């Protein structure tokens, strides 16, 4: 069974696709009511699933008439990868961040399903089990940078 976060993400992406526009405007409270969840759950999804590393920009205005505006960033493939290298990957990359980048690359058809699976395995805790826990995120960042440089 899919997690609520996944369902909310898919729903928002469906709205974006159906609008056939580069942005949508939604109200956090209405979306929370639709999914029978707290508005903080919507915030979590927006923060973790709609960041720059996944090709989105989120603008939020709080208050009575508040809204959330989500922009889908349209870039050519090389510029998208360069933006990930420049803006997203620092000296450290968590497993979740790596998975987000990989999923985004696949959704933008910059990598195949097989490449997505291979990359996911490389970033797994199991693959990095011989490396000290506190060093894994640094290794992930280095690995991701090297893989993305090949795609440019």
Same domain, 66 and 102: no
Tell me the pLDDT tens digit for each residue of 29-78.
899 999 999 888 998 999 888 887 677 888 887 766 668 888 887 666 66
Same domain, 61 and 117: no
Contact 56, 67 (CB under 8 A): no
Which residues form the domain of 120?
77-151
What total number of domains does the chain contain?
A: 2
Same domain, 138 and 97: yes
Q: In what order do the strands lie in the sheet with 67-72?
A: 23-26, 67-72, 56-61
Same domain, 14 and 67: yes
Contacts by residues 9-13 (CB-CB < 8 Å, ≥ 24 positions apart) = 9/45, 9/49, 9/50, 11/35, 12/45, 12/49, 12/50, 12/70
Q: Which of 20, 52, 72 is where one domain is finished?
A: 72
Instruction: Label residue 72 exposed, middle or buried (CB < 10 Å: 0-12, 13-18, 19+).
Output: middle
Same domain, 111 and 140: yes
pTM, whole model, 2 decimals? 0.57
d(CA 79, CA 92): 21
Q: What is the pLDDT of residue 98?
A: 92
Q: What is the pLDDT of residue 107?
A: 86
Please report, for residues 9, 15, 64, 72, 116, the alpha-carbon distance to residue 20 in angstroms, rounded to integers and kept in the order given: 17, 9, 28, 11, 27
CATH of the domain at 19: 3.30.56.130
CATH of the domain at 118: 1.10.1200.150
Tell me the pLDDT tens digit for each residue of 87-125.
778 889 999 889 989 998 898 888 999 999 999 999 999
Q: Where are the alpha helices (DSSP H) in 1-87?
A: 4-19, 28-34, 39-49, 77-83
Tell me the pLDDT tens digit for each residue of 130-147.
999 889 999 999 999 888
């Amino acid at each position: 069974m899919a997690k609520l976060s996944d369902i909310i993400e898919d729903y928002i992406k469906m709205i974006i696709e159906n609008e056939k526009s580069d942005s949508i405007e939604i109200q956090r409270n209405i979306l929370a009511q639709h999914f029978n969840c707290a508005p903080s759950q919507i915030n979590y999804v927006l923060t973790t699933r709609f960041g720059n590393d996944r090709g989105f920009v989120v603008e939020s205005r709080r208050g009575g008439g508040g809204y959330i505006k989500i922009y889908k960033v349209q870039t050519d493939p090389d510029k998208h990868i360069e933006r990930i290298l420049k803006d997203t990957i620092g000296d450290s990359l968590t497993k979740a961040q790596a998975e987000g980048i990989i999923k985004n690359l696949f959704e933008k058809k910059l990598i195949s399903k097989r490449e997505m699976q291979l990359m996911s395995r490389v970033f797994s805790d199991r693959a990095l089990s011989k490396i000290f826990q506190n060093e894994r995120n640094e290794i992930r960042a280095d690995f991701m940078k090297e893989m993305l440089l090949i795609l440019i």
